[in-house]
Structure 1
Amino acid sequence: MPFARSVLAAATIALVGGTALPAAAIQLTPHRATYAISLDGSKPANRVNGADGQIVYELRGNPCAGYSVQLRQSTDLATEGGQVNSAVSTATWEDGDGNSYRFRVTNTLNGETPEEADGVAERKDGRLVVKATKPEADTIQLGKNVMLPTQHVLRLINSAEQGEPILEASVFDGSPDAKKVYDTLSVIGRGMSDPKGLENAATSGDLAGRTRYPVTVSYYERGAAKETPDYIISFDIFDNGVSRNLKLDYGEFALRGTLISYEALPKEECAK
């Protein structure tokens, strides 16, 4: 089956040199969010009978100090061939201008020796250059107009607030091999603040009454000669960067991520 540990890593990270964002007011809230994973029953699944697991996503920082993200995902799939467990752990830091990035990604399948990607990316003369230490030491020239994950999240929110329904962007996050770039196509719906149907975790604290936007992002491997995306992520994103109602569609099956807890973390003052 086409399920791979790298696909799960890339899909969940995305939950964050283009042109600069306006100096205004998009403020990502430092937070910790936990999502319960289940098999999406609305999509026919090929050789996958059930799914269970959890995603824990933590964002800290601001435009002055940069943004750090830690993500842990553990997924158990009941397949026709037996139980499959995928464990993903990522730790990244990105500067507030989207010009510098550090990443460490670990993927483990069924407790075997993990696959790792580790390195740094710097924008030089507009070009994103990656120096990887894992899976092997290498320097990769990714070219211009490649966004970093938090930069992409900020651009999504900005496009949503401006009423722009389409965003095309090339994105690098380090997974799965410290060199892959995805061309993405995002379809952004109109903002809403009606609390009907929201999880309890999405209606309390600083999420109460906030505007959120439905977003669908299709990921295509750059240079691949095919018209269908590698995977598709759908979610609602609040105007402070918190997501809910995740759907991770891998083609032959899809997973749901339901927000079960949310905690705003302390903010640090920033002059930007």
Structure 2
Amino acid sequence: MTDYREAGTLAVAVCALAASMSPALAAGVQLVPHRAVYAVALDEASDRSGINDMRGRIVYEFRGSACAGYTTNFRFVTQIASRAGARVTDQQTTTFEEGDGSLFRFVTRTFVDQEPDRTIEGTAERTDDATLVTLTEPEDAAFELDPAAFPTAHMIDLIERADAGERFYEKKIYDGSDDADKVMTTTVIIGPEKTEEAEDRDALDPIADSPFRNVSVAYFDELAQGEGEGLPDYRIAFKMHDNGITRSLEMDYGDFSLTGTMEELELFELEECD
């Protein structure tokens, strides 16, 4: 069975997977705290994936402020039908990121058929020269990685670049995904600002008429280059509003791809800094 990630990242997309946001003020960027629910469905799957069907739900909640820091709660439940049989996976991630992007704490718990499967827990600190990672689960470990942005800082940077008219760039990100031992290089493509009829005005009422941009983010593991002929590990595309809310998700993991359609959206009160 092919491994897959929650698109960090989504926190970058729902971000993304990613990601995705709270009242941060950085060069005019103000991300809105919110709770979004996405219905996930299988788009395509190759024979090599062994997947016959996959469907599920993402619940993403983002709160916080630039002075108090940002907290995300992300849950991704999927029902997978494959040649090996059927199973249900449940990935639950909670993160905290300092408002200045200097510290990132994360814990991800994965369950398979309601039984505990794996836990990753740790802290990452950004310095000028490195990203310093300390893990406490599944065992004590420490890594010194390349300097990289954490998920919320990555999103703020993306919106700033979009507002400045930038359409393509590369940036490194650390989101604690997989074994939490690597920095990923992202290549980001940003489309022009546009408006169009929203696919589900009832669910998207708070943002149905607001402008957005089509964004595509590809994630590369530079240490593994040469094995995949320069292909990304995975790619996430989405419609991004200037307040950080993302919708119309497309998650491509190579052997299979998923779509995510927003079903519910609740906006929370902005948390102002004193």
What TM-score do the two structures reach when normalised by structure 2? 0.88
> Could you list the runs of 5+ residues in structure 2 that have no partner in the other structure?
none
Matched, 1:70 2:69: no
Distance apart, 1:25 and its partner CA: 1.2
Letter in 2 for 1:162: A
Provide the residue aligned with 1:218 in structure 2. 218
Letter in 1 for 2:222: R
CA distance in 1, matches of 2:170, 2:248: 22
Instruction: Write the mapping of 1:31-70 to structure 2, written as runs, cut at 5 A.
Output: 31-40=34-43, 43=44, 45-46=46-47, 47-70=50-73
> Could you list the runs of 5+ residues in structure 1 that have no partner in the other structure?
none
Secondary structure of the residue aligned to 1:151 is helix
Provide the residue aligned with 2:271 in structure 1. 268
Contact 1:48 1:78 survives alignment (8 Å): yes
Distance apart, 1:173 and its partner CA: 0.7
Letter in 1 for 2:108: V
> What is the aligned length?
260
Distance apart, 1:201 and its partner CA: 4.7
Matched, 1:199 2:200: yes
| Identity in percent | 37
Provide the residue aligned with 2:234 in structure 1. 231
Secondary structure of the residue aligned to 1:156 is helix
CA distance in 1, matches of 2:209, 2:72: 25
Secondary structure of the residue aligned to 2:36 is strand
CA distance in 2, matches of 1:221, 1:80: 29
Provide the residue aligned with 1:4 in structure 2. 3
CA gap of 1:102–1:75, structure 2 versus 1, over 3 A, is same
Provide the residue aligned with 2:246 in structure 1. 243
Q: What is the RMSD of the two structures over their aligned residues, measured on CA atoms?
A: 2.0
What TM-score do the two structures reach when normalised by structure 1? 0.88
Q: Deviations over 1:197-236 (max 9, x none)?
A: 432256412x143221111111111311231111111111
Contact 1:11 1:233 survives alignment (8 Å): no
Contact 1:236 1:244 survives alignment (8 Å): yes
CA distance in 2, matches of 1:11, 1:151: 12
User: Which of the numbers 174, 178, 190 marks the counterpart of 2:192?
Assistant: 190
Instruction: Write the mapping of 1:109-148 to structure 2, written as runs, cut at 5 A.
Output: 109-144=112-147, 146-148=148-150
Contact 1:104 1:118 survives alignment (8 Å): yes
